[in-house]
Amino acid sequence: MSGKTLYDKLWDSHLVQQRDDGSALIYIDLQLLHEVTSPQAFEGLRMANRKPWRVSSSLATPDHNVPTTKKERISGVDGIEDPVSKIQVTTLDDNCDEFGITEFTMKDIRQGIVHVVGPEQGATLPGMTVVCGDSHTSTHGAFGALAHGIGTSEVEHVLATQCLVQKKSRNMLVRVDGELSPWVSAKDVVLAIIGKIGTAGGTGYAIEFGGTGIQSLSMEGRMTVCNMAIEAGARVGLIAVDDTTVEYVKGRPYAPKGEHWDMAVEAWKDLVSDDDAQFDEVVVLKSEEIKPQVTWGTSPEMVIAIDQPIPRAEDQEDPVKKEGYARAWKYMGLEGKTTLADVTLDRVFIGSCTNSRIEDLRIAAEVVKGRQVASTLKQAIVVPGSGLVKAQAEKEGLHEIFEAAGLEWREPGCSMCLAMNADKLGAGEHCASTSNRNFEGRQGFGGRTHLVSPAMAAAAAIAGHFVDVNDLVKH
């Protein structure tokens, strides 16, 4: 019998009950909650007169529609100008109070994007199952945890039973071999992967990312890669545990301590795929071939390296692709353009659960330091992923570098990634964004999103259009 993959091991260690039809009851160790996908779940509990099974397994923070300007943030929830957003955040506060769930409210320095906060606090641990009513929960797979997004009914199900009814996915290995080139980041790697396998390439699979190109990434880089597994259609992204993982977790507020720490570290050593494990699918990329990536269309798979021409609909053979490309060209207003350097940018957004951690901000600051954002730009904003990321950045003086260069320094939240708060694109505006989705209307009605790494977004802010960050930093 062949060995087990990391996914197999995580599945087996959380199996409560296997059913004859292939579905199973899986135990959930950590549920992260935010204001958008939880109110109806709490309401469901109340209607059925149910209580959470284990409140200590939940951690909540508002993120999706919190404002990011100082003016609105100064008085916490009361300062939210949009009355509908305010009700939603207040509802989360009330529900957490009622059910006794730990919440980092808007006034808490630990508040931030759920997928930044969980790992930062050591709430996310290797070997766990982690769920959240948000598809980017795959982020936590970077810790060798089985993590995926769920809908609101399942949020309620986990609250009430501590379990989920699941069917096991198939195993896919995406291996990235070799050392990454200068200024090529985790974001470029994952965009290149999505470009290769497509937005449905991972549907039905749990993807394990491996190879030296992945192993050499920091935990923050690994989170960026796993974060976008869902953009390749896979609910689960995973990376094996190694010293980098253990070092990152050590000493965090909710990480195990003392004897528990030693036990945990010993157990985590097994959180790798066995040498003889069989994957249903293996995809290999060479690091040296990955260049800085930019999306040109309305799906994350519509991505090219910065030096490539924008692909044309008429050159596509697959009729579905041809039609999709034609629609994307029209929506993105690309007529008459040949490369992404021809696109004049209106806004730049550095933030989101994909790229708002301290290393992302350091890289962006390094690029803009001593430079000025292009005068043609309407706005460039930097939105840290949590209050603690913000504090760390300010300690390092990064906010001064951003502000001196002409970027706005904001308060933590999801912000312009999905534009549920006031940060959004106007119709027809092009944005270089470090977020994860470039769907039609995602960042605002009629808005045009181009996904890039923090370094590429920073370079684009300076140039006013897309440019290879390598070329920019040379000058």
Annotated binding site: 353, 414, 417
Which CB, 185 or 295, lies closer to another protein?
295
Residue from the set 4, 9, 34, 64 that interacts with another protein by CB under 8 A = 64
Contact call for residue 18 and another protein (CB under 8 A): no
Which CB, 14 or 73, lies closer to another protein?
14
**Least gap, CB of 152 to another protein (angstroms):** 4
CA 387/CA 308 separation, integer angstroms: 38
Residue from the set 56, 75, 338, 376 that interacts with another protein by CB under 8 A = 56
Number of other residues whose CB lies within 10 A of the CB of residue 71: 10
State the amino acid at position 233 in one-letter form: G
Residue from the set 8, 63, 154, 359 that interacts with another protein by CB under 8 A = 154
Residues 156-195 that bind another protein (CB under 8 A): 156-157, 160-163, 165, 167
Residues 76-95 that bind another protein (CB under 8 A): 82, 84-85, 87-88, 91
Contact call for residue 256 and another protein (CB under 8 A): yes
CA triple 247-145-138, angle to 5 deg: 110
Residues 194-213 that bind another protein (CB under 8 A): 199-200, 203-204
Residues 381-440 that bind another protein (CB under 8 A): 418-420, 427, 437, 439-440
Contact call for residue 27 and another protein (CB under 8 A): yes
Residue from the set 442, 448, 450, 465 that interacts with another protein by CB under 8 A = 442
Residue from the set 76, 79, 99, 135 that interacts with another protein by CB under 8 A = 135
Residues 285-304 that bind another protein (CB under 8 A): 299
Contact call for residue 215 and another protein (CB under 8 A): no
Which residue ranges make up the annotated binding site for [4Fe-4S] cluster?
353, 414, 417
Number of residues engaging another protein in binding (CB under 8 A): 83
Residue from the set 5, 31, 37, 434 that interacts with another protein by CB under 8 A = 37
**Least gap, CB of 403 to another protein (angstroms):** 29
Number of other residues whose CB lies within 10 A of the CB of residue 218: 15
**Least gap, CB of 71 to another protein (angstroms):** 21
Contact call for residue 153 and another protein (CB under 8 A): yes
Q: Is 1 exposed, middle or buried (0-12, 13-18, 19+ CB in 10 A)?
A: exposed
Residues 305-344 that bind another protein (CB under 8 A): 320, 323-324, 327
Q: Cβ neighbours of residue 259 under 8 Å, at least 6 residues apart?
A: none
**Least gap, CB of 234 to another protein (angstroms):** 8
**Least gap, CB of 245 to another protein (angstroms):** 15
Residue from the set 33, 59, 189, 425 that interacts with another protein by CB under 8 A = 59
Sole window of 207-215, 262-270, 287-295, 381-389 interacting with another protein (rule: CB under 8 A)? 262-270
